[in-house]
Amino acid sequence: MLMYTAFAVERGVVEVKCPLKWNRDLSADHWPADKRGHLDTLLSLRTNHSYNTQVQMQMFVCKTTYADFITWTPKHTVIFRIQ
């Protein structure tokens, strides 16, 4: 877990996931179609996925207002903010 301050006003955490199953030549546009995956859309987590609980708990414990969630594969990177 990485905690950082943006513009010395708000504190946030960063969560990075590198899903091995998406390393093959699958376009990022197809990631949300994976029903066992963690993305609901390219810009949101599935609310019933454990990553959502993990990020919400990190924000609570660290007393932050947001988390930047990064999904990385060798071919694609998706970044969005959870508040």
How do residues 21-71 score in pLDDT, each as one tens digit? 777 767 788 888 888 888 998 889 999 999 999 999 999 999 999 999 999
Domain of 24?
2-82
Domain count, the chain: 1
Q: Tell me how far apart the alpha carbons of residues 76 and 31 are, in angstroms, rounded to a whole number.
A: 11
Task: Output the pLDDT for position 54.
Answer: 95
pTM to 2 decimal places: 0.82
Residues paired with 72 in a beta bridge: 77
- The residues, any chain, with a CB within 8 Å of residue 10's CB and separated by 6 or more, are 64, 65, 66
